[in-house]
Amino acid sequence: MFDSQRVEHLLLQTAQSLKQNGSFVKGQELLAGVDLGTAYIVLVVVDAAGQPVACEMEGAQVLKDGLVVDYIGAVETVRRLKQRVEDRLGVCLSKAAIAVPPGTGTADQRTHRYIVEACDLEVVRILEEPVAANAVLQIENGVIVDVGGGTTGLSVIRDREVVFTADEATGGTHISLVLMGRYGLTFEQAEEMKQNPALHPEVLRTVMPVLQKMASIVRANIQGFEVDCAYLVGGTCCLTGIEEVFARELGIRTYKPSNPLLVTPLGIALGCAEQESAEYPTPRQANAAAGLGQRGGYALC
């Protein structure tokens, strides 16, 4: 059941572990979650009880819309993050879980696995990203909205099961492109502006049409579902005030955790603790179960 205090406590622990290691029992096996994102690669480590122990992250442009475009760069980044954590904790990490966007094909899933395995980590579980996010949120009903670097994805949850997913172009990169055009910035400068909380009011005003487009993607795809609350995750949702835009455009309660960037990486690490294989519905299966054909870019064929 969704408990905002529990969620915030876990995220605070994870954020703190970016700088200060969490406590853990020496000799106890630690489990990792590797999130290969469009803008960031994040590695979160938890103990057997699911308590965050360490976190490392690094900006990277090695994926595009969930697909690996720079395999070597991805491997090198994950290897650096793993080495930093191991040096900090004085341990050797051996097991990890990963997550992929809904609808990711088998070949692309293998590529994600190979990247992590190339860093001497055994991949014990592959989750779909909404499943990972809900390992932290633990909502029973609602829609999880994941705004990443390239796309806005959503997953309708009913009785704690994913029943429908969609993913469409428009994400953090599009915000940066608008800022580049408006202020004559380089992409890197636009990213810095977007990530500066002091500039968020100005950024919000400038990119409002992009945010409204993101919300419209969600609104169009949840038609026909009884959804009374949206839960925002993903790095782009760190923009101050984005939750108010979604709430206004969707007309439903909208919850944004204190650090939406860390929700999915933490959930991946928590999923590593549950090593039993489990079958999760693919977008096609979820849409079929809901009696739907083509929606949100996924077609039943």
Looking at residue 140, what is its pLDDT? 95
192 vs 301: which has the higher pLDDT:
192
DSSP annotation string for 28-45: ---EEEEEE-SSEEEEEE
Looking at residue 291, what is its pLDDT? 45
Q: Do 146 and 31 sit in the same domain of this protein?
A: no
Q: Do 197 and 75 sit in the same domain of this protein?
A: no
Residue 180 lies in a domain: yes
Q: Is the pLDDT of residue 278 over 80?
A: no
Looking at residue 24, what is its pLDDT? 81
Q: What is the DSSP letter of 60?
A: -
Q: Do 127 and 268 sit in the same domain of this protein?
A: yes
Q: What is the pLDDT of residues 76-90, one digit of tens each?
A: 999 999 999 999 999
Kindly state the percentage of the chain with pLDDT values over 90: 69
Residue 283 lies in a domain: no
Identify the domain containing residue 229 by its residue range: 138-260
Q: Is the pLDDT of residue 169 over 90?
A: no
Handedness of CA 105, 154, 139, 225 (dihedral sign): negative
SS3 content of the chain, % helix, strand, coil (to 5): 45, 25, 35
Q: What is the pLDDT of residues 14-69, one digit of tens each?
A: 999 998 888 887 878 899 999 998 888 999 999 988 999 999 999 888 877 667 88
Reduced to 3 states (helix: H, G, I; strand: E, B; else coil), residue 92 is coil
Q: Is the pLDDT of residue 290 over 70?
A: no
The end-to-end CA distance of the chain, in Å, is 35
Quote the mean pLDDT of the chain. 87
Q: Counting Cβ atoms within 10 Å, is residue 180 exposed (0-12), middle (13-18) or buried (19+)?
A: middle
Q: Do 145 and 117 sit in the same domain of this protein?
A: no
Q: Is the pLDDT of residue 300 over 70?
A: no
Q: What is the pLDDT of residues 226-273, one digit of tens each?
A: 999 999 999 999 999 999 999 999 999 999 999 999 999 999 999 987
| Strand partners of residue 161 | 158
Q: Do 158 and 124 sit in the same domain of this protein?
A: no
CA nearest neighbour of 289 among 145, 157, 131, 200: 157
Reduced to 3 states (helix: H, G, I; strand: E, B; else coil), residue 145 is strand
Q: Do 209 and 113 sit in the same domain of this protein?
A: no
Q: Do 170 and 91 sit in the same domain of this protein?
A: no
C-beta separation of 299 from 293 below 8 A: yes
CA nearest neighbour of 194 among 170, 167, 186: 186
Average pLDDT over residues 133-156: 93
How many residues are given for the chain? 301
Domain count, the chain: 2
Handedness of CA 193, 196, 198, 202 (dihedral sign): positive
Would you place residue 284 in the very low, low, confident or very high pLDDT band (cuts 50, 70, 90)?
A: very low
**Lowest-confidence range among 220-224, 244-248, 263-267, 286-290?**
286-290
Residue 40 lies in a domain: yes
| Residue 174: CATH number of its domain | 3.30.420.40
Residue 158 lies in a domain: yes
Distance CA 94, CA 110 (A): 18
